[in-house]
């Protein structure tokens, strides 16, 4: 069963990841990763960009179906796939998979949307696949996930369906404030390894004053030399992740642990803060959860 | 008494404002305003920049003293004036006024710093002059001030001395997120006049999820067409000012009203939110408070 059965692709804002997988057990026969997210593709350039990355696989294995998830299905992507509404399970998502108009055998997994009781909306594209790829087998109770990133996603799954999720702009606020605000003036170095500064930021996040006040501490404590310039990014990171976790945990209401999905260096930071807030965590690398999620959706499409 | 007695200058990050005032009653004989903040001045270029703005006054009235406040006294300004520590009254501030090295008759009002019981610092440069220029005469009780801006300042004055203050980066977060984050993609128009969207943002600010989550609502509600693209800046503004006021009011603990000092279009927005939070406000235009404050400090220098 090592005959290629599908090409699975995670095509996000900044990155492109693809796997050539076999039928049956879904063994990975080949893989590709490139910094060719949808922001690097010109309008109309998606067929060529796909060829550039996995054209050789498609020539070698004619007719092998392609399944894509992520921002490739957004308005700024190849073709807009309407959001599936929560609660959504893997079967609903598989049924909502959309063929790319004018292409044979290329499909896009839609994102999902959540409408809160107060009428507010939230959306994700791509993370839902990672969540479905990280579900604990046979677990029917509430499972809570946190996917740190430019836009961090927190989600709750019950009986295999996403029943709630919410976004925090933590990563984007961190980078935008570091690069474009006065806070960047005193910063040196781009690393996030000053754990003392990170911890101080986390402690600040529970003080009165609110986030807009705490952000200014990065400047004030920088001016007064409380932290080395190389520690200010870590301090800002501790403040932001602290605010995110303190606001999200009471809404997410994990029954037990929080499952973190992301890059290990980032999930480690989240784990240290969530653990400090008396909640256990388990971490899953993002590439594994994506591959598993796309594989499950592919299977559900065949069975559905 | 219309003989020019001093040149008073508010020299901030982005703007330069100057008044030529008479002795005695302090009547304004002439005034100048230019977008020549310290960010527009090359290192070493301050004497020339001063000449360019008020050189004619100094030639016409040789020996008239110059008193400056604001970021001109910062590390990035003409000469660094060390912060005066809170609690600070107008007499302490007048005694801490610093002569500019190498110049005759040019002085800089220092900024002030506050060290919280938890050891955290906060700083301001220029706003302290506006506060001292807005004190209610004869009022000995606690007076609370809010100075909206790129970095909003909240301050409390007791018995004529600033006993507490804190900064919120509201204005800078608003502009940086509008210009450099994904939130700007859906925005159209730069105005802040959609009062319905502003009010919706304020209402969101009291919901669970925290500011990092509420920021994303600007994108999600933009995607779902809840607001016109022209209303998204107002929505963001309502969210941010709502968070600022909700976090600051309980710390500032106004005994009665909050005195707002700023541009009328901005203080109107703050007034609507602070009033909704059951606190009365009074507004004072920033130019008046600055002129009054510098005049008072000038008087205190003569008497001190």
Encode pLDDT of A45-61 as tens digits: 999 999 999 999 999 99
CA distance A283 to B93: 54
Nearest by CB to residue B240, choosing from A121, A212, A247, is A212
Whether A170 and B212 lie within 8 Å, measured CB to CB: yes
Q: What's the pLDDT tens digit per position in B49-85?
A: 999 999 999 999 999 999 999 999 998 899 999 999 9
User: Are residues B112 and B93 in contact, defined by beta-carbon separation less than 8 angstroms?
Assistant: yes
For residue B62, what are the CA distances in angstroms to B24, B55, B74? Answer: 19, 10, 27
Evaluated on CA atoms B81, B87, B93, B95, the torsion sign reads negative
pLDDT for the residue numbered A14: 87
Residue A78 main-chain phi, psi, to 5 deg: -75, -50
Order of strands, sheet of A106-108, starting from the edge strand that comes earlier in the sequence: A28-34, A16-22, A4-11, A66-69, A106-108, A98-99
- pLDDT reading at A111 higher than 80: yes
pLDDT for the residue A137 = 80
Residue contact A166–B209, C-beta within 8 A: yes
* Longest pairwise C-alpha distance within chain B: 65
Q: Say whether pLDDT at A203 is over 80.
A: yes
| Mean pLDDT, residues A189-202 taken together | 90
| % of chain B exceeding 90 in pLDDT | 84
Encoded tokens for A179: 């690069």
pLDDT at B185 over 90: no
| Three-state secondary-structure class, residue B96 | coil
Indicate the residue of B121, B169, B207 with minimum beta-carbon distance to A224: B121
From A123, A216, A223, residue closest to B223, measured CB to CB = A123
Mark which residues 74-103 of A lie under 8 Å from B by CB: none
Q: What is the dihedral of CA B112, B113, B116, B122, to 10 degrees?
A: 110
Taking the CA atoms of chain A, what radius of gyration do you get in angstroms? 21
Q: Tell me if chain A has a CB within 8 Å of the CB of B203.
A: no
Question: A75 near A13, Cβ under 8 Å?
Answer: no
Distance from B133 to chain A by nearest Cα, in Å? 24
What is the average per-residue pLDDT within A95-124? Answer: 95
Tokens linked to B147: 């100075």
Q: Give, as one character, the DSSP assignment of residue A162.
A: E
Residue of A nearest to B225 (CA): A121
- Spatial CA neighbour of A237 closest among A277, A196, A208, A276: A196
Helix (H, G, I), strand (E, B) or coil at B209: coil
A126 neighbors A111 (Cβ within 8 angstroms): yes
Residues in chain B with CB shorter than 8 Å from the CB of A152 are: 212
Question: What's the pLDDT at B188?
Answer: 87
Q: Are B53 and B95 in contact (CB under 8 A)?
A: no
Q: What is the mean pLDDT of residues A80-87?
A: 96
Please give the Cα distance from B150 to A180 (Å, whole number).
Answer: 13
Closest among A110, A86, A83 to A97, alpha carbons compared: A110
Distances (CA, A) of A168 to A155, A232, B182: 11, 21, 13
- A5-35 burial by CB neighbour count: b if 16+ within 10 A, else e? bbbbbbbbbebbbbbbbeeeebeeeeebeee
pLDDT beyond 90 at B215: yes
Residue pLDDT, tens place only, A281-297: 999 999 899 999 999 99
Residues of A in contact with B168 (CB under 8 A): 209-210, 212-213, 216
- Chain A contact present for B120, CB below 8 A: yes
Whether the model clears a pTM of 0.80, i.e. scores above it, the answer is yes
Indicate if the pLDDT at residue A2 is higher than 80: no
| Residues forming a β-bridge with A53 | none
Inform me whether the C-beta atom of residue A203 falls under 8 Å from chain B C-beta atoms. no
Over residues B74-103, the mean pLDDT reads: 95
**Domains (ranges, CATH) in chain A?**
4-125 (3.30.420.300), 168-284 (3.30.420.310)
Is residue B110 within 8 A of residue B96, CB to CB? The reply is: yes
The structure tokens listed for A207 are: 């003080």
């Amino acid at each position: 069963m090592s005959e290629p059965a599908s090409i699975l692709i995670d095509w996000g804002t900044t990155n492109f990841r693809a796997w050539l997988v076999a039928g049956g057990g879904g063994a990975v026969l080949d893989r590709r990763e490139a910094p060719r997210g949808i922001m690097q593709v010109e309008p109309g350039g998606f067929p060529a960009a796909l060829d550039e990355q996995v054209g050789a696989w498609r020539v070698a294995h004619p007719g092998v179906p392609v399944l894509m998830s992520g921002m490739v299905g957004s308005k700024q992507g190849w073709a807009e796939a309407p959001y599936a509404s929560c609660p959504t399970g893997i079967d609903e998502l598989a049924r909502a998979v959309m063929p790319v108009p004018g292409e044979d055998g290329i499909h896009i997994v839609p994102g999902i949307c959540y409408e809160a009781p107060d009428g507010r909306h939230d959306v994700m594209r791509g993370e839902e696949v990672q969540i479905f790829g990280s579900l604990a087998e046979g677990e029917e109770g509430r499972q809570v996930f946190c996917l740190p990133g430019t836009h961090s996603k927190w989600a709750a799954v019950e009986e295999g369906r996403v029943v709630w999720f919410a976004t925090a702009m933590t990563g984007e606020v961190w980078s935008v404030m570091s690069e474009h605000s006065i806070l960047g003036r005193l910063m040196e170095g781009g690393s996030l390894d000053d754990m003392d500064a990170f911890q101080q930021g986390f402690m600040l996040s529970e003080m009165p004053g609110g986030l807009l006040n705490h952000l200014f501490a990065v400047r004030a404590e920088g001016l007064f030399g409380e932290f080395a310039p190389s520690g200010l990014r870590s301090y800002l990171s501790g403040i932001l992740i602290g605010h995110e976790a303190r606001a999200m945990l009471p809404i997410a209401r994990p029954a037990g642990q929080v499952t973190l999905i992301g890059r290990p260096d980032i999930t480690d930071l989240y784990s240290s803060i969530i653990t400090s807030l008396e909640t256990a965590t388990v971490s899953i690398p993002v590439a594994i959860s994506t591959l598993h999620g796309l594989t499950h959706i592919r299977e559900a499409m065949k069975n559905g």
